[in-house]
Structure 1
Amino acid sequence: MPSPAKKGRELIQGVDASGTFPVQYRFAHAKGGNRHLVVVFANFAVPEDYGWSNGVFDPVRANILWIKDRFDGHNSYYLCRGMDFSLESSVAGLIFRVMEALGLTRDDVTMWGGSKGGSAALYFGLRYGFRNIVSLVPQFLVGTYVRKVHPKVATFMLGEGVPESNVRAVDAIIPDLVRSEVNRTANIYLLSSPQDEQYPEQVEPFLGLFQRYENFNFVFSESPYITDHSQVTRRNVPFLMGLVNMLADGVAPRLGMVRNGYEQPDRDRSGIDSYLAATSVLKSADVFPPPLVTDPVPHSRVPRSGPRFTGTAQGAAKVSLWEHGRFLGQTDVAADGTWSWELGRAWSQGKHLVRLYGVHAAGYQTERVEVHFTAEEGAAAPARAHPVQAPQGGQVPRGGSAPRVVVSAPEALQQVGPAVVFRGFAQGAVEVRFRENGVLLGAVAVGADGGWAWDSGWPWAEGMHAVDVGPVDANGMEGPPASTQFAVLGAAAAAGYY
């Protein structure tokens, strides 16, 4: 869902699930039709695992792609999980798909990052042949560094017990890549400082490996105001922003011929717009149903000490709540799909409009649900309502409404098969029916608790499927269906050989 960044630059969020690992990203279009892409990798301890996302890139004219380093709840240097480097391939796939959607070549792209992100920028830039690399205070010996400083990351990347052989293997990745001179013509800008405590072990021993690179630039930043690793980059932000704008204009600071100006204001953006729409983090209700809200009742009056929000969110891992664009909090969704949350302090007197949405474990978000209520001193807590889904605008049908259904499995865009089991929850229904392309596939009874599960009993054909699941009440009235889209893998892929 697009959101304004600081100083008004629009951010578009998405998840690319084309590879083995879903990769979350943010994207901002270029200014004035600039024909360049800056790929930003994150350092440690940054909000939501997006680096340089505090507005510092707002003056940059290029397209910006921020990539989140969070896989199964852990950082990874964008490389591997348990030495499985299909994680790296998933990240590279995202970059190339965005580049293709923009109609760019590798000469039109800059890899950018600091610390952990600096290592990633150097690695991806050299390995995949990108023209420009800006690597700020990187670590060259990644295996040794995570074992010493980030043991949980080391376990995630290198495996249980952090085997010494895996530490050595990951330590060798960047130095061996530089030695190979596989991308010797790249424009490389490496920033470090003697005040960086990591410099003697992680940078200095490897500088000589770049001697044969045609445009290797080492920015040696020395200042009494630099006190530690993180300060090296902060002291150089004005210079770095000027550098990235030069690269975006096609100018790599060096002797010889340079190209200045790289604008195409009337360019066709349909390719990148189609890609962003297809991988958008926001999913429609037929793909990923929004939460059902039990309490508070819409437009009710509640005590200022309340209300406690409750409901169900099938398929979601968390529910996130906002008011006036400000984050209120979030809560985990239980295994049975239920959730609850309360503010933890008194609400201000008067009317409130809270927007909430479900968040999938892979980072997808549901459409927004609006809940209107009025907080008053001394108001009685309202009676508990039956769970119903609030449509846009917060109006909730009461009494006599059609049955409703949510699908919790297969999850949105999940890879399954060839056997497929459907599960979910249906309010006010006695049966749910399953159709694909309008053809009735089968039906199953709904349990007393509203839950249901259906196994077709046949192996599904390989490829993408979209199945409509329709709830039916005791009078035979069929409510609006929910749709679930999933990919069925071939036998070899389902067995794990991919």
Structure 2
Amino acid sequence: MPQASSSGRQLLVGIEASGTFPVEYRFSHAQKGNRHLVVVFANFAAPADYGWSNGVFDKLRANVLWIRDKFDDNRSYYLCKGMDFSLEQSVVTLISNVMRALDLTPDSVTLWGGSKGGSAALYFGLKYGFRNIVAIAPQFLIGTYVRDVHPGTARYMLGEGVPEENVRAVDALIPDLLRSGANRAANIYLVSAVQDDQYPVQVEPFLGLFQPYENFNFVFSDSPHIADHTQVAGRNVPLLMGIANCLIDGIAPRLGFVRNGYEEPGRDRSAIDSYLSATSLVRGAEFPPPVVTAPAHQQEVRRDAVRLAGHARGAVRVIIWEHGKYLGQTDVAPDGSWSWDLGRAWSKGKHPVKLYAVDAAGYQSERVEAHFTAVDGADGPGAPVFAPSAGDRGPVLSTVGPGSSAPMVLEPVAHEQVMDSRIVFRGAAAGASQVGFRQNGVLLGGVAVAQDGSWSWDSGWAWGAGMHVVDVFAVDHSGAESAVTQVPFTVLNLSAGAPAAVFNGEY
């Protein structure tokens, strides 16, 4: 699902999953046909682990690729997990695929980052031959830095116990590239400051290694407005944006022939559009959104007793937010069920809460909304579930909450291809008083459970040809609702004379 920056510039999100490690990214198309790519690496304090994502690049005319440094909920400098550098290769695969889809070469790419991201920009730029490198207050001795300052990152990157030989090996990555003369033709812009407490150890000892480089530029700030390492980038933004715009136009501050303009407004974008679509973070029908079973739609709930619950097939977590503000998340149980509460009373009134599911690879479902009203006093009416029928009176309503084990469904068998449009559901639900049925979050009906735990339900209508997914749940004698058993089945053809209508939640 496309997002928008503060300027309205569209941001597309996705995952490059062809390598060993899935790599999450954000991408924004160039403006006015610009033919350049800026790749942005994140610092430790970057929002959501995307660097320079606070709108500073909104007016940049280039294509921009932000790469997230979050692997197994850890930071990695985009390098390794337990000294497994296939993580680095997965990152390079993403950059290369985007570059190829844009029909660019490394000469038309700028790698950009601050602090941790600056180290990554230097490393990847030197090693893989990218033309432009902008590194703001980087760490050269990466192993030592994470060992001393970020022990969690050190364990993730270097292994449990953080072996000293691994510290030394990662310390040597950037210095060894410089000593070997890797990518000497690169336009390198290294930014640091007197006030950066890391400068004497992490930068100054390595400046001499750049002496053979043809176009190395060292921007050394001395300003009373720079208090520490974290402010080096912020106080140099105007200068850095000037450098960025020059590089995008093909201009480096050196004598000689330069190419200006570098724009093709009418260029075919189908290749990059196809790649972004293929790696989109938000999946369609193949990854369904979470279903909310409680509160019921437009239900009134006591504001200190709101608990959202439901199921999310194929997901590992559900994310919740309201009015564009993140509220929280919850893990999904192995059977697909989930529940979440805010941890405090909700404000009084109507609440349109949005939710989406996330799978193990990091892909997201489409968004869904749950609407309820938070009220003072006693609970409002509960979520409706059909209780046992009483003669010809038809079903009556009961209220439910989280409870017992999911019912067993014997017919139809999951993924069965059914030849008849009249479907009878049969199964067992020990200890339950009734079993209910939902499709796409809409209540279909319910049936009483016999004393031996068996149950059987006929909807009374003909099911349309095609795929159906029905959620079956049990309700115990206290009114508590169980986890869901999901039953996908396909109706192949219809019985003679039966009406052909797919149930869509309306009678």
TM-score (norm 1): 0.78
Note the aligned Cα RMSD (angstroms).
2.7
Gaps of 5+ in 1: 388-398, 400-423, 436-444, 451-471, 484-498
CA contact (8 A) 1:296 1:373 kept: yes
Q: Which residue in 2 is equivalent to 1:303?
A: 302
Q: How does 1:73-88 map to 2 (within 5 A)?
A: 73-88=73-88
Distance 1:274 1:447 in 2: 48
Q: Which residue in 2 is equivalent to 1:173?
A: 173
**AA aligned opposite 1:21:** F
Matched, 1:105 2:105: yes
Residue 308 to residue 427, structure 1, CA distance change in 2 (3 Å)? farther
Distance 1:149 1:347 in 2: 39
**AA aligned opposite 1:74:** N
**AA aligned opposite 2:216:** F
Shift of 1:430: 4.0
Shift of 1:233: 1.3
Q: How many residues align?
A: 417
SS at match of 1:21: coil
Q: How does 1:195-344 map to 2 (within 5 A)?
A: 195-285=195-285, 287-344=286-343
CA contact (8 A) 1:138 1:202 kept: yes
Distance 1:74 1:363 in 2: 14
Matched, 1:431 2:413: yes
Distance 1:367 1:427 in 2: 28
Residue 354 to residue 254, structure 1, CA distance change in 2 (3 Å)? same
Q: Which residue in 1 is equivalent to 2:505?
A: none
Distance 1:447 1:47 in 2: 49
Please list the CA deviations of residues 411-464 of structure 1 after superposition, one character each: whole Å capped at 9, or x if unmatched. Answer: xxxxxxxxxxxxx999896411278xxxxxxxxx988599xxxxxxxxxxxxxx
Match of 1:480 among 449, 454, 468: 468
Distance 1:446 1:44 in 2: 53
Residue 428 to residue 434, structure 1, CA distance change in 2 (3 Å)? closer
SS at match of 1:264: coil
SS at match of 2:7: helix
Please list the CA deviations of residues 459-488 of structure 1 after superposition, one character each: whole Å capped at 9, or x if unmatched. Answer: xxxxxxxxxxxxx987896852699xxxxx
Distance 2:114 2:354 in 1: 35
Residue 366 to residue 385, structure 1, CA distance change in 2 (3 Å)? farther
Shift of 1:13: 0.8
Residue 40 to residue 446, structure 1, CA distance change in 2 (3 Å)? farther
Distance 2:55 2:410 in 1: 48
Q: Which residue in 1 is equivalent to 2:22?
A: 22
* Identity within the alignment, %: 64
Distance 1:116 1:153 in 2: 11
Distance 2:130 2:185 in 1: 10
Matched, 1:139 2:139: yes
Residue 447 to residue 108, structure 1, CA distance change in 2 (3 Å)? farther
Q: How does 1:343-492 map to 2 (within 5 A)?
A: 343-378=342-377, 380-385=379-384, 430-433=412-415, 479-480=467-468
CA contact (8 A) 2:350 2:372 kept: yes
CA contact (8 A) 2:34 2:62 kept: yes
Distance 1:350 1:202 in 2: 54
Residue 446 to residue 16, structure 1, CA distance change in 2 (3 Å)? farther
CA contact (8 A) 1:191 1:218 kept: yes
Residue 205 to residue 197, structure 1, CA distance change in 2 (3 Å)? same
CA contact (8 A) 1:187 1:215 kept: yes
Q: Which residue in 1 is equivalent to 2:45?
A: 45
CA contact (8 A) 1:430 1:473 kept: no
SS at match of 1:480: strand
Shift of 1:264: 1.2
Residue 145 to residue 426, structure 1, CA distance change in 2 (3 Å)? farther
Shift of 1:361: 3.3
CA contact (8 A) 2:410 2:427 kept: no
Please list the CA deviations of residues 32-70 of structure 1 after superposition, one character each: whole Å capped at 9, or x if unmatched. Answer: 111111000001122211111111111211111100001
Q: Which residue in 1 is equivalent to 2:93?
A: 93
**AA aligned opposite 2:413:** E
**AA aligned opposite 2:191:** L
Moved more, 368-377 or 145-154: 368-377
Distance 1:155 1:214 in 2: 37
Q: Radius of gyration: which is bigger?
A: 2
**AA aligned opposite 2:265:** P
Residue 302 to residue 158, structure 1, CA distance change in 2 (3 Å)? same
**AA aligned opposite 2:94:** L
Distance 1:194 1:106 in 2: 33
Distance 1:427 1:189 in 2: 65
